[in-house]
Amino acid sequence: MKTCDIAIIGLGLMGSAALRELARRGADVLGFDPLAIGEARGSSHGSCRIFRRFNFESEAYTALSDRAFALWRALEAESHQTILMPSAILEAGPAGCPSVRKSRAAAVAAGGPITGPRTGREANAAYGAFNLPDDWDVVVHEAGGILLAERAMRALRAGVEHRVAREAAQIAPMPEGIRILTASGEVMARRVIVSAGPWIAGLVPGLTRHVKVTRQAVGWFAPARPETTRYGECPIFILKAARGMIYGFPDFEGRGVKAAQHDHGPAVGPDEWDPPVSDAELATTSAMLAELVPGAAGAITDREVCLYTNTAQADVVADDGGEFVIDRLPADPRIIVASPCSGHGAKFATAIGAMLADMALDPKVKAVAAFRLDRFSSFA
Ligand SMILES: Cc1cc2nc3c(=O)[nH]c(=O)nc-3n(C[C@H](O)[C@H](O)[C@H](O)COP(=O)(O)OP(=O)(O)OC[C@H]3O[C@@H](n4cnc5c(N)ncnc54)[C@H](O)[C@@H]3O)c2cc1C
């Protein structure tokens, strides 16, 4: 039987980053994934993702952002192309808005000076696209960016395609190794990284009750005032209002303003992609743009479905849910599980790839506490 030291099941941004990193370190590694780069399935497809240095989810993510940022820059240097376009990020919400407060606190904790608009009134004066209520809280971070997701994926996979089998795989742990079963045959691996995005519970059934896959509707809007939404003039924006949280990008690709709701859509299975995104699914995004970012509001010109894999709240330690899972399976530490989504994992992919490589190469490397599986009693 064919063998390899490390197999990676699932080559979205996470698995591809791990594959590249392991190959770079000289490991005997193979990756498995039935999808071609760019196919609109899973969570990593599409042109862009937001890179935030300061994360309202937790200030503990700043160090991971910084590590990822350095590695994105290294990937740009190696691939001779831009992968992360610098952009300011404006976050706003009603006075006292927790996400704005937490994001500002993360910047303060990292010693970052915050000099931009602090209220809705100041933001409206600084950026022509916006019409925020005057008394809203605002924080603007300069240390953000537009991660060119598909380009990043191609760069991560450059030079390692010969290690990729374009096939779905299943895993069967045996005493002598982990059998990787595909339609065309079997491979025996010493260790396995399972980074199968929304399909992960199918490979690691114990995760089923701790992850929820949701359908997220994304739209592109023809800006009413294009001169206000151009890249460089309009920041990335994340707006929290009573009816929901939306995010949007400046029109950096001449395709309109990409915007969507961050609130979870309906729960779906990983293979449920129909029907196409409807106007109704984009109604909250459209209404919030019309009210708060009128420069960007306009007809919907394009739409896309993407899946979030959301991690549940822990029951052994206190967390808010949405923390990633990146850990060895307690019952079989040869199997490393990576589910870093909850709608904000892409920006960390290079750092998570390096983390997965560390764990796969050295059994003594411990998982980051917040990402451990034993925060759930079923794995404790
Ligand atoms: C609408 C949307 C917006 C987002 N916005 C942001 C953002 O602004 N900033 C940010 O940082 N993050 C964002 N995210 C989150 C980010 O995109 C995800 O964290 C990231 O893409 C997860 O990548 P992944 O590799 O874990 O999963 P995926 O990209 O889903 O990859 C999993 C892969 O596993 C493969 N696979 C499944 N089963 C098998 C099998 N049996 N055998 C072999 N292969 C298999 C699949 O084919 C797939 O290619 C967003 C996500 C969505 C959906």
Q: Do both 7 and 26 map to the same domain?
A: yes
Distances, alpha carbon 375 to alpha carbons 110, 311, 315, 366, in Å:
27, 11, 6, 14
Q: Which atom of ligand 1 is nearest to 339's Cα?
A: 26
Give the end of a domain, one of 286, 311, 336. Answer: 311
Cα Rg of the chain, angstroms:
21
Q: State whether the beta carbon of 305 lies less than 6 angstroms from ligand 1.
A: no
Structural domain contains residue 155: yes
Q: 279: helix, coil or strand?
A: coil
Contact call for residues 378 and 206 (beta carbons, < 8 A): yes
Q: State whether the beta carbon of 49 lies less than 6 angstroms from ligand 1.
A: yes
Could you count the other beta carbons within 10 Å of the beta carbon of residue 129? 30
Q: Write the CB contacts of 201 (distance below 8 Å, at least 6 apart in sequence).
A: 207, 208, 211
Farthest-apart Cα atoms in the chain, separation? 67
What's the pLDDT score for residue 1? 85
Residue that the structure tokens 């549940």 belong to: 312
Q: Tell the burial category of 156 from Cβ atoms under 10 Å away from its Cβ (0-12, 13-18, 19+).
A: buried
Q: State whether the beta carbon of 42 lies less than 6 angstroms from ligand 1.
A: yes
Q: Which atom of ligand 1 is nearest to 13's Cα?
A: 25
Q: Which atom of ligand 1 is nearest to 45's Cα?
A: 29
Structural domain contains residue 71: no
H or E element, residue 248: strand 244-248
Kindly give the residue spans of alpha helices, DSSP state H, lying in the chain. Answer: 13-24, 62-79, 98-109, 120-126, 149-157, 200-203, 283-292, 349-361
Full pLDDT tens readout for the chain, 380 residues: 899 999 999 999 999 999 999 999 999 999 999 999 999 999 999 999 999 999 999 999 999 999 999 999 999 999 999 999 999 999 999 999 999 999 999 999 999 778 899 999 999 999 999 999 999 999 999 999 999 999 999 999 999 999 999 999 999 999 999 999 999 999 999 999 999 999 999 999 999 999 999 999 999 999 999 999 999 999 999 999 999 999 999 999 999 999 999 999 999 999 999 999 999 999 999 999 999 999 999 999 999 999 999 999 999 999 989 999 999 999 999 999 999 999 999 999 999 999 999 999 999 999 999 999 999 999 99
Residue that the structure tokens 């919030």 belong to: 288
Q: Do both 171 and 276 map to the same domain?
A: no
For the chain, how many structural domains are there in total?
Answer: 2
Q: Do both 218 and 264 map to the same domain?
A: yes
Q: State whether the beta carbon of 156 lies less than 6 angstroms from ligand 1.
A: no
Domain ranges, residue 256: 86-148+212-311
Give the mutation target among 166, 207, 341 for probing the ligand 1 site: most ligand atoms within 8 A of CB: 341
Angle (CA) 101 252 40, round 5°: 90
Length of the chain: 380
Q: Do both 319 and 271 map to the same domain?
A: no
| Angle, in degrees to the nearest 10, between helices 62-79 and 149-157 | 70
Q: Write the CB contacts of 224 (distance below 8 Å, at least 6 apart in sequence).
A: 294, 295, 296, 297, 298
What's the pLDDT score for residue 114? 84
Structural domain contains residue 52: no
Distance of alpha carbon 199 from alpha carbon 301, whole angstroms: 30
Q: Do both 207 and 220 map to the same domain?
A: no
Q: Do both 345 and 330 map to the same domain?
A: yes
Token code pair at residue 9: 């099941």
Token code pair at residue 240: 């929290």
Distance of alpha carbon 312 from alpha carbon 28, whole angstroms: 34
What single DSSP character describes residue 72?
A: H
Identify the CATH number of the domain in which residue 259 sits. 3.30.9.10
Q: Do both 160 and 220 map to the same domain?
A: no
How far away, in angstroms, is 263 Cα from ligand 1 center?
17
Q: Do both 130 and 224 map to the same domain?
A: yes
Distance of alpha carbon 57 from alpha carbon 344, whole angstroms: 9
Q: Do both 216 and 298 map to the same domain?
A: yes
How far away, in angstroms, is 12 Cα from ligand 1 center?
5
What's the pLDDT score for residue 62? 97
Q: State whether the beta carbon of 35 lies less than 6 angstroms from ligand 1.
A: yes
Distance of alpha carbon 96 from alpha carbon 74, whole angstroms: 38
Residue type, 133: P
The closest residue, in CA terms, to atom 12 on ligand 1 is: 344
Contact call for residues 185 and 49 (beta carbons, < 8 A): no
Identify the CATH number of the domain in which residue 14 sits. 3.50.50.60
Q: 227: helix, coil or strand?
A: helix
Q: Do both 122 and 221 map to the same domain?
A: yes
H or E element, residue 145: strand 137-148
How far away, in angstroms, is 197 Cα from ligand 1 center?
5
